[in-house]
Chains A and B, each alone.
Chain A
């Protein structure tokens, strides 16, 4: 499965990604990913404007954003993450099987396929069936197809490259396989470290949002609530400055979410 660029996914398409590894999207989950952005935008707009209808409009915009952007991003992240784990398992088990036993690549592949899950299992099953009665050229193409599907994972591609040599030429270079395996594990370790660090950044971000809300509350009650409504919330100057505030805030939220969604430790988009 390939993700198209900048395209809105329908619920069915999102579900297809989820089903690739595990259950389809639950109603409760969908409800949450729409309700949370709705409540956040509603809340922010309301405490600045005190017009319930305006807050409702902004809330709906937030909810639509939540559906279009956040849901698909989350689904993609989970999908990529699961697929990466499967590839990691594949590389580790495969290397182990090829080291310990006197097995051929094809025999090892069968054992690994049984242990795989989800979409990756299907990939491996297809690979295995393609390899039956195949000549060297076919073997190469079948493996290459798998490597191409996950071409972003350079180390996985390297591993597959080695398997091609092993399967076509009959000799297994165990040392190289072990090397590549440890690289893949190393990347996995770093990725986990990266996720942890990002979680800390998220906590900081949420904390600073609360500080911002505290600021607004301080302003609201500084000269009394009535004054605030009359001279700011329901006043042209207040409309303009709150609108600027909300727009910049929305931009910050959006870039933050985008950066949070970037899990790759092997590439940067500049």
Chain B
């Protein structure tokens, strides 16, 4: 009952985003319950204030409740955006590291992946790769594990393309020009990632001028208040 309610009131992609960030359903239910609770608290305050103070308080309470409901979602979303950005970067690093290994002939893809496990930092991609290796063992003639890896580790179309090409290379051709092509794809992605990081970091500077201007208003406001109080004192000594 509560579970269906939680899903009913959730935004369309909320559960999907949380799941991709590796939160389970229990977390999702807890998250939704907290949101309900906060809305209720706001509404309760609104009722109390409107009874004792002024009915307008109810409108403000409703507005605040809606705002915070939406704000929680917004937070998950921005967290998710950061997450997928980071995930993509990690994946493009993975791609770039993979190519030199593939170029060393006389190694199988399986060996290369195992070698990569040692080189990768602990993290999302590494966990995904571990699973890919296990699944490759279980059904060696299926492209599905590769696709799943691409979707989990990066989620972009180019990642899926990269991984399926890799699968084809392993299954059918052993043509090194395929690897060169993959290398081009990977380095393009890596440098796209670098550009994105630079842009991301530079964008973080954009708010400073506004903030610096805004806080000057604190001084202006403070001075005005103190002048008013002063004036008031002079009028009513």
Chain B residues lying within 8 Å of A242, measured Cβ to Cβ, are 219, 222
Q: By the criterion CB–CB under 8 Å, are B86 and A268 in contact?
A: yes
Chain A residues lying within 8 Å of B83, measured Cβ to Cβ, are 270
A79 interface hit (Cβ, 8 Å): no
Query: With A and B bound together, what is the CA distance between A95 and B88 in angstroms?
Result: 30
Query: With A and B bound together, what is the CA distance between A228 and B89 in angstroms?
Result: 54
A74 interface hit (Cβ, 8 Å): no
Q: By the criterion CB–CB under 8 Å, are A231 and B226 in contact?
A: yes
A138 interface hit (Cβ, 8 Å): no
Q: Which of B147-204 contact A (CB under 8 A)?
A: 183, 187, 190-191, 194-195, 197-198, 200-202, 204
Query: With A and B bound together, what is the CA distance between A270 and B190 in angstroms?
Result: 19
Range of interface residues on chain A? 35 or more
Q: By the criterion CB–CB under 8 Å, are B209 and A190 in contact?
A: no
Among residues of A, the one whose C-beta sits closest to the C-beta of B198 is A194
Which of A161, A201, A212 is close to B216, meaning CB atoms less than 8 Å apart? A212
Query: With A and B bound together, what is the CA distance between A211 and B194 in angstroms?
Result: 34
Q: By the criterion CB–CB under 8 Å, are B96 and A245 in contact?
A: no
B230 interface hit (Cβ, 8 Å): yes
Query: With A and B bound together, what is the CA distance between A216 and B93 in angstroms?
Result: 49
Q: By the criterion CB–CB under 8 Å, are B100 and A252 in contact?
A: no
Query: With A and B bound together, what is the CA distance between A194 and B26 in angstroms?
Result: 43
Given contacts A245-B219, A252-B208, contact A270 B100 (CB under 8 A): no
Q: By the criterion CB–CB under 8 Å, are A190 and B195 in contact?
A: yes
Range of interface residues on chain B? 35 or more
B220 interface hit (Cβ, 8 Å): yes
Which of A165, A237, A267 is close to B89, meaning CB atoms less than 8 Å apart? A267
Q: By the criterion CB–CB under 8 Å, are A265 and B212 in contact?
A: no
What's the minimum C-beta distance from A40 to chain B, rounded to whole angstroms?
A: 14
B227 interface hit (Cβ, 8 Å): yes
Q: By the criterion CB–CB under 8 Å, are B194 and A187 in contact?
A: yes
Given contacts A179-B183, A183-B187, A238-B223, contact A212 B200 (CB under 8 A): no
A3 interface hit (Cβ, 8 Å): no
Chain B residues lying within 8 Å of A248, measured Cβ to Cβ, are 215, 218
Q: By the criterion CB–CB under 8 Å, are A216 and B219 in contact?
A: yes
Chain B residues lying within 8 Å of A176, measured Cβ to Cβ, are 100, 103
Q: By the criterion CB–CB under 8 Å, are B201 and A194 in contact?
A: yes
Chain A residues lying within 8 Å of B97, measured Cβ to Cβ, are 154, 158
A57 interface hit (Cβ, 8 Å): no
Q: By the criterion CB–CB under 8 Å, are B201 and A183 in contact?
A: no
Classify the interface of chain B: helix, strand, loop or mixed.
helix
Query: With A and B bound together, what is the CA distance between A205 and B208 in angstroms?
Result: 7
Given contacts A237-B229, A259-B201, A259-B204, contact A252 B211 (CB under 8 A): yes
Query: With A and B bound together, what is the CA distance between A164 and B170 in angstroms?
Result: 25
A48 interface hit (Cβ, 8 Å): yes
Chain A residues lying within 8 Å of B93, measured Cβ to Cβ, are 154
Chain B residues lying within 8 Å of A197, measured Cβ to Cβ, are 198, 202
Chain A residues lying within 8 Å of B190, measured Cβ to Cβ, are 183
B104 interface hit (Cβ, 8 Å): yes
Q: By the criterion CB–CB under 8 Å, are B216 and A216 in contact?
A: yes
Chain A residues lying within 8 Å of B205, measured Cβ to Cβ, are 198, 201, 204-205, 256, 259
Q: By the criterion CB–CB under 8 Å, are A219 and B220 in contact?
A: yes
A215 interface hit (Cβ, 8 Å): yes
Cβ contacts A to B, 22 pairs, < 8 Å = A154-B96, A155-B96, A176-B100, A176-B103, A186-B191, A190-B195, A198-B202, A201-B208, A204-B209, A205-B212, A211-B216, A215-B216, A219-B220, A231-B226, A232-B223, A238-B226, A241-B225, A245-B219, A259-B201, A262-B201, A265-B194, A270-B86
**Interchain residue pairs A-B with the least CB separation, the first 10:** A241-B222, A215-B216, A237-B226, A201-B205, A208-B212, A208-B209, A270-B82, A245-B218, A231-B230, A231-B226
